[in-house]
Amino acid sequence: MQPDVIAQQETHLNPSDKLKIPNYSAYRTDRTTHRVGGTALLVKNSIDHRPTPNASTPFENTTVNLDLPNNNNISITSIYRPPHGRINTQELDRLFSQSSKAIVVGNYNAKHPAWSVGRSNTNGSLIHDHIANNNFVLLTPLEPTHFPYHHPSSSTLDFRILKNISSGDASSINDLSSDHNPVSFEINVNASLASPAKKPELVSPQVISLIKKLNPRKATGPEGVSNKALRMLTLNSVTHLTEIFNKCIVLHHFPDSWKLAHVLMFPKPNQNHKLSGSYRPNSLLSNIGKLFEKVLLKRLNDHCLKNSIIPAEQFGFRSGHSCSH
């Protein structure tokens, strides 16, 4: 493997240390206070490029501008964000302001289900929202990249964010010498990002029509909001609920609280009730979450019917169609 650009984080270099690889030009930002942290970029000598002043941000960073053919200029930044402290959006804005096309890669020390297993942390949620709000592209491997020596859980802390570049692949490469796996990225720098999608046109009357169809006798989920209460919402309250649904669609987010359930166990007839297998579970989910699912289903069905996406041969799971023909 001979990558065009090598991005390094936590280089642990002092200014007096040398970093040389044949056929590559090295650019680095050393942490001068003590021997930890640090970032670097190594660029093939055959690629026209020039170093760029580092962004003023708590992210340790090294940036190089690639001068590619056809005036295709791209800034690439290697970053390391220490695990402590909260990220603000101004930090992220400065990292992506170097060029109209930008790649920011490194160890963000941020967790979110969009790129890592388990729950999100505060910085993960901030980065996720910033990606969605700015129409950036997240490029992350399917496999974890971080395997702590003294902790059994793995996670993905190393990923790449693309600005105005839409195509790429990523994979984690096994490396037993470190608790972080190297990540290989392949990017089509000529692929332009599509225009941002229009905001969803979900409006209050659409939500009201679905609320009117809710069964008021259905049981209540963990949040304690019954269908009867939803049916009694004022127009102003439905408007706020519609705004929440629209935000969930824009951010590709389904709140964790809507995934929680009260599980009731009902005994099966003529079974030994001392055995766990003799009970049938019934999960009571959030009624607000189920209403949001109905909203999504209605939009998907309308889109599929309008654009003739569902073939005529599809009968199962369709309203007004039997399962046999």
Flag whether 119 is in a domain. Answer: yes
* CATH number of the domain residue 52 falls in: 3.60.10.10
Q: What is the pLDDT along the chain (325 residues), one digit of tens a residue?
A: 688 999 988 888 888 888 889 999 999 998 877 767 889 999 999 999 999 888 878 788 999 999 988 888 899 999 998 888 888 888 888 888 878 899 999 888 888 888 876 678 888 888 988 888 888 888 887 777 777 766 667 777 788 889 988 767 777 777 666 777 788 888 776 655 555 556 556 778 889 989 999 999 999 999 999 999 999 999 889 989 999 998 898 888 999 999 999 999 999 999 998 898 999 999 999 999 999 999 999 888 888 887 778 887 777 777 777 665 5
Angle, nearest 10°, between helix axes 204-211 and 235-250? 110
* Per-residue pLDDT at 286: 96
Which of 141, 159, 187 corresponds to the end of one domain?
187
Same domain, 223 and 150: no
Six-digit token pair at 253?
């987010």
The closest of 243, 221, 195 to 288, measured between CA atoms, is: 221
Same domain, 139 and 217: no
Flag whether 104 is in a domain. Answer: yes
Flag whether 317 is in a domain. Answer: no
Same domain, 222 and 96: no
Same domain, 219 and 183: no
Same domain, 135 and 262: no
Which of 134, 153, 187 corresponds to the end of one domain?
187
* Per-residue pLDDT at 16: 83
> What are phi and psi for residue 169, nearest 5 degrees?
-135, 155
Which of 157, 187, 217 corresponds to the end of one domain?
187
* Per-residue pLDDT at 323: 60
* Per-residue pLDDT at 183: 82
- What is the DSSP annotation of 227-255? HHHHHT--HHHHHHHHHHHHHHHHTT---
Same domain, 145 and 276: no
Flag whether 63 is in a domain. Answer: yes
Question: What is the enclosing helix (H) or strand (E) of 306?
Answer: helix 287-306
CA-to-CA distance for 131 and 99, rounded, in angstroms? Answer: 17
Flag whether 319 is in a domain. Answer: no
- Report the relative pairing of strands 261-267 and 279-285 from DSSP bridges: antiparallel
Query: Which DSSP category does 213 fall into?
Result: T
* Per-residue pLDDT at 24: 94
Six-digit token pair at 258?
């809507």
Flag whether 192 is in a domain. Answer: no
Decide: pTM greater than 0.95: no
* Per-residue pLDDT at 37: 84
Same domain, 295 and 147: no
The span from the first CA to the last CA of the chain, in angstroms, equals: 55
* Per-residue pLDDT at 167: 65
User: What burial letters (b/e) apply to 188-221, b meaning 16+ CB within 10 Å?
Assistant: ebeeeeeeeeeeeebebebbbeebeebeeeeeeb
Same domain, 215 and 296: yes
Flag whether 10 is in a domain. Answer: yes
* Per-residue pLDDT at 64: 94
The closest of 28, 91, 31, 33 to 64, measured between CA atoms, is: 28
Same domain, 122 and 96: yes
Flag whether 193 is in a domain. Answer: no
Same domain, 14 and 162: yes
Same domain, 30 and 173: yes
Same domain, 124 and 21: yes
Split into its structural domains, the chain has a count of: 2
Alpha-carbon 6 to chain mean position: 24
Domain hosting residue 271, numbered range: 204-307
Residue owning tokens 């009867």: 228
* Per-residue pLDDT at 1: 67
Q: Which amino acid is at 181?
A: N
